[in-house]
């Protein structure tokens, strides 16, 4: 059975062409599935009955299962979504988080079950890689969140021009550029006017720095780019973000500039997790300034969110302030990320789901002398 949620509009048009239907059917289907959130073919009133019957016989619109929905004291919401592995029967789930703010509502979406890149301060990374999510599972997170938030707000459909989810960040579990095709197809649906109609600046993809995929993304779907830097030199980044051994900082900085070539008014957001005594000293701040000197960027400092046996501690707030001020005095826009959804473990890097632990890696403690 074909799950139509796996298709973006051009793919849907190809499907309709293959069954002798006109391409505009794709637009109608996108609107029903995504804009209106209607998944019962019988309710798709502007589609001929014979075609609705054919769609019912040959296709489905199937969302992943919501196992749990939690609401934090600060309004942050988290969905635990089951993606049980049919072949192995292994339980595995991913998480989606909605963060309401005064001027926006941001949905944080997962792209993989687990992650193979094993950054040492990340709980998703500590669990190893299980599998890539399908398009239906990635865009399905948006469908599920939209349904639930609309219901909560008491709307069937929001007044024209209003969106509860105004921004999307690909910053949940997994490395989005390691599931390239499915992530790009899903982002096409986010940007599609018949579906969610988000502008490309309101969709942010966060990557640990897979250089060839960054180069491809700028042509295929040039959304806002966030890069997980976390260290100002290769020796330290090799430890914290091991993919750095393959794509070291010099190459990464060059790739950021290539990404910006097409959209000169854009900037990259560098994310920098603040780990006590590891990467948060005055020297590190100056080294960071030298590293990013030629890249138009903003900086986002993320106080480390602890998880059991990580071996790291969050930087002291006084150290974070000093670090931030050095960057600001050099003229950069710097934000320090507020922790949201603490009481439901929805903060950055705490998304764990119930991923099958294939690696059984032990403690991630790194010796301080190795990074000093
Ligand atoms: N794989 C992608 C996107 C997911 S992680 C990436 O690495 O960019 C989203 C952000 O949260 C990244 O910047 C990541 O480094 C950061 N992060 C991971 N674990 C964290 C933790 N325990 N505390 C704070 N930030 C963390
Ligand atoms: Fe993977 Fe990102 Fe976590 Fe690194 S920080 S292990 S790339 S999810």
Where do the domains of the chain lie, and which CATH numbers do they carry?
A: 2-60 (1.10.150.530), 65-370 (3.20.20.70)
Is 0.75 surpassed by the pTM of this model? yes
Catalytic residue among 53, 95, 261, 283: 95
CA contacts within 13 A on the Cβ side of 57: 7
Atom number in ligand 2 closest to CA 125: 6
What's the DSSP call for residue 200?
Answer: G
Catalytic site includes residue 348: yes
Contact status, residue 119 vs residue 125, Cβ threshold 8 Å: yes
pLDDT of residue 84: 63
Atom number in ligand 1 closest to CA 312: 22
Q: Is 110 touching ligand 2 by the criterion CB < 6 Å?
A: no
Query: Please, what is the Cα angle at 215 between 287 and 294, to 5 degrees?
Result: 30
Contact status, residue 131 vs residue 124, Cβ threshold 8 Å: no
Q: How far apart are CA 207 and CA 176, in angstroms?
A: 7
pLDDT of residue 358: 42
Q: Is 302 touching ligand 1 by the criterion CB < 6 Å?
A: yes
Q: In the structure encoding, which two tokens stand for residue 194, read together?
A: 């018949």
Atom number in ligand 1 closest to CA 306: 22
Catalytic residue among 108, 119, 256, 348: 348
Q: Is 30 touching ligand 2 by the criterion CB < 6 Å?
A: no
Q: Is 30 touching ligand 1 by the criterion CB < 6 Å?
A: no
Contact status, residue 325 vs residue 365, Cβ threshold 8 Å: no
Helices 135-153 and 180-191: angle between axes, nearest 10 degrees: 40
Catalytic site includes residue 95: yes
Q: Which residues contact 100 (CB under 8 A, 6 or more apart)?
A: 75, 76
Q: How far apart are CA 82 and CA 130, in angstroms?
A: 13
Sign of CA dihedral 257, 104, 39, 157: negative
Helix and strand tally (H, E) in the chain? 11, 14
Contact status, residue 12 vs residue 4, Cβ threshold 8 Å: yes
CA contacts within 13 A on the Cβ side of 272: 31
pLDDT of residue 199: 95
pLDDT of residue 161: 57
Query: In this structure, which residue's CA is closest to atom 20 in ligand 1?
Result: 349
Q: How far apart are the first and last CA of the chain?
A: 56
Q: Is 356 touching ligand 2 by the criterion CB < 6 Å?
A: no
Query: Digits of tens for pLDDT over the chain (372 positions)?
Result: 999 999 999 999 999 999 999 999 999 999 999 999 999 999 999 999 999 999 999 999 999 999 899 999 888 999 999 876 655 555 578 999 999 999 999 999 999 999 999 999 998 898 889 999 999 999 999 999 999 998 888 766 655 556 889 999 999 999 999 999 999 999 999 999 999 999 999 999 999 999 999 999 999 999 999 999 999 999 999 999 999 999 999 999 999 999 999 877 899 999 999 999 999 999 999 999 999 999 999 999 999 999 889 999 999 999 999 999 999 999 999 999 887 777 777 666 555 554 444 443 333 333 333 332
Atom number in ligand 2 closest to CA 174: 8
Query: In this structure, which residue's CA is closest to atom 2 in ligand 2?
Result: 175
Question: Which ligand lies nearest to the CA atom of residue 120 in the structure?
Answer: 2
Q: Which residues contact 75 (CB under 8 A, 6 or more apart)?
A: 100
Find residue 106's DSSP bridge partners. 99, 167
Query: In this structure, which residue's CA is closest to atom 6 in ligand 2?
Result: 125
Q: How far apart are CA 354 and CA 188, in angstroms?
A: 29
pLDDT of residue 157: 61
In angstroms, what is the span from residue 362 Cα to ligand 1's centroid? Answer: 20
| Cβ neighbours around 204 below 10 Å, total | 18
Question: Which ligand lies nearest to the CA atom of residue 226 in the structure?
Answer: 1
Atom number in ligand 2 closest to CA 349: 3
Contact status, residue 205 vs residue 226, Cβ threshold 8 Å: yes
Q: How far apart are CA 29 and CA 241, in angstroms?
A: 41
pLDDT of residue 90: 54
Q: Is 117 touching ligand 2 by the criterion CB < 6 Å?
A: yes
Q: How far apart are CA 326 and CA 331, in angstroms?
A: 9
């Amino acid at each position: 059975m074909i799950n139509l949620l796996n298709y973006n509009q051009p793919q849907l048009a190809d499907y309709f062409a293959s069954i002798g239907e006109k391409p505009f059917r794709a637009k109608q289907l996108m609107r029903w599935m995504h804009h209106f959130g209607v998944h019962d073919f019988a309710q798709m009133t502007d589609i001929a009955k014979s075609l609705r019957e054919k769609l019912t016989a040959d296709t489905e619109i199937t969302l992943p299962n919501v196992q749990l929905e939690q609401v934090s004291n600060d309004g942050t919401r988290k969905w635990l979504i089951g993606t049980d592995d049919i072949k192995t029967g292994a339980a595995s789930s991913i998480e989606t988080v909605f963060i309401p703010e005064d001027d926006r509502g941001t949905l944080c979406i997962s792209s993989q079950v687990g992650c193979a890149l094993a950054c040492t301060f990340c709980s998703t990374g500590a669990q190893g890689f299980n599998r890539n999510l399908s398009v239906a599972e990635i865009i399905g997170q948006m469908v599920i969140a939209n349904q639930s938030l609309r219901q909560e707000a008491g709307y069937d459909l929001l007044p024209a021009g209003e969106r509860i989810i105004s921004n999307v960040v690909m910053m949940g579990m997994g490395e989005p550029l390691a599931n390239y095709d499915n992530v790009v197809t899903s982002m096409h649906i986010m940007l599609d006017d018949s579906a969610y109609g988000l502008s490309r600046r309101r969709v942010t993809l966060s990557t640990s720095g897979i250089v060839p995929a960054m180069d491809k993304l700028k042509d295929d779907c040039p959304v806002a780019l966030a890069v997980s830097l976390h260290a100002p030199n290769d020796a330290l980044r090799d430890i914290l973000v091991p993919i750095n051994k393959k794509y070291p900082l010099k190459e990464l900085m060059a790739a950021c500039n290539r990404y910006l070539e097409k959209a000169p008014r854009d900037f990259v957001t560098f994310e920098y997790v603040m780990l006590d005594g590891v990467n948060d000293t005055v020297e590190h701040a100056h080294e960071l300034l030298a590293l990013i000197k030629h890249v138009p960027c903003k900086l986002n400092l993320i106080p480390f969110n602890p998880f059991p046996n990580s071996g790291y501690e969050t930087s002291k707030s006084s150290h974070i302030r000093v670090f931030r001020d050095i960057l600001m005095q050099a003229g950069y826009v710097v934000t320090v990320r507020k922790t949201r959804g603490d009481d439901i473990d929805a903060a950055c890097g705490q998304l764990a789901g119930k991923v099958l632990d294939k690696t059984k890696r032990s403690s991630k403690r790194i010796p301080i002398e190795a990074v000093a």
